């Protein structure tokens, strides 16, 4: 039980549940319950890959700052144990996304989004382009499902998801802003500071809401 709780926490449980729930909602717009559940499970596995890889990469930094809420630092799971689980889940995430209901078109976009999120952990969070993986991942979530069903995702779907993703990035960084500066993590929110990051996040959310309100929310099919 201790291991399971530790694995759940290492996955960044709140965001993982939120993204999985959103994926089930979007999938239900295109499929009946069976395929929709398979799609959301594939997204869930992808979120495990992102969260677990993040905690493994940040382990030494988390120890340095004594982040005892992190299960690796608290000792509820070990780095080697988490790496073993990551090696099991990663191929399953690839298989379900690429060979499940999303197929190669939508599943490929979903895998690309997962890859971008993992690259954030390795590289982008140290750069001024730290927002880019969030924009791609959140924009791809509904769009990959539309593509797999033969619909060309309209601008509001891509851009609305991207704006909300960037807003989530700015808000998510605020709690660790001081420690990130000490560790040399200089993403865009860290360069802007906490107060500016809050303002940016609010503006982006308002822009996303305005985009949805004033857009035609129909889904035009791909031209034959």
Which DSSP string do the residues of 39-89 spell out, in sequence order? Answer: HHHHHHHHHHHHHHHHHHHTHHHHHHTT-TTSHHHHTSS-HHHHHHHHHHH
Find all residues with CB under 8 Å of 112, minimum gap 6, and list them: 136, 140
pLDDT tens string for the chain (224 positions)?
A: 668 888 999 998 988 998 999 899 888 888 888 999 999 999 999 999 999 999 999 899 889 888 888 899 988 899 999 999 999 999 999 999 999 899 888 999 999 999 999 999 889 999 999 999 999 999 998 889 888 888 888 888 899 999 999 999 999 899 888 888 888 899 999 999 999 999 999 999 999 999 988 887 666 554 44
CB count, 10 Å around CB of 32?
A: 9
Cα separation of 45 and 96, whole Å? Answer: 9
What's the predicted TM-score (pTM) here?
A: 0.89
CB 125 within 8 A of CB 74: no
**How many other CB atoms sit within 10 Å of the CB of residue 137?**
26
In this structure, are residues 201 and 189 in contact, taking their beta carbons and an 8 Å threshold? no
CB 205 within 8 A of CB 195: no
Structural domains of the chain in order of their starting residue, each with its CATH number: 2-214 (1.10.600)
Rounded Cα–Cα distance for residues 150 and 51 (Å): 31
């Amino acid at each position: 039980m201790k291991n399971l709780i530790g694995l759940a926490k290492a996955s960044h449980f709140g965001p993982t549940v939120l993204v999985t729930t959103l994926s089930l909602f979007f999938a239900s717009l295109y499929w009946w319950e069976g395929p929709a559940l398979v799609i959301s499970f594939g997204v869930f596995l992808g979120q495990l890959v992102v969260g677990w890889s993040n905690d493994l990469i940040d382990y030494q930094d988390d120890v340095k700052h004594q982040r005892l809420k992190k299960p690796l630092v608290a000792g509820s799971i070990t780095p080697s144990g988490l790496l073993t689980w990551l090696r099991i889940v990663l191929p399953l995430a690839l298989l379900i996304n690429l060979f499940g209901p999303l197929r190669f078109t939508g599943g490929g976009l979903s895998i690309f989004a997962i890859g971008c999120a993992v690259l954030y952990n390795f590289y982008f969070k140290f750069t001024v382009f730290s927002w880019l993986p969030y924009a791609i991942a959140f924009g791809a979530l509904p769009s990959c499902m539309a593509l797999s069903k033969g619909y060309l995702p309209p601008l509001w779907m891509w851009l609305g998801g991207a704006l909300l993703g960037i807003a989530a990035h700015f808000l998510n960084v605020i709690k660790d802003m001081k420690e990130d500066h000490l560790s040399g993590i200089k993403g865009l929110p860290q360069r802007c500071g906490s107060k500016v990051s809050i303002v940016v996040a609010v503006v982006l959310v308002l822009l996303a809401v305005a985009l949805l309100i004033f857009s035609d929310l129909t889904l035009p099919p791909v031209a034959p």
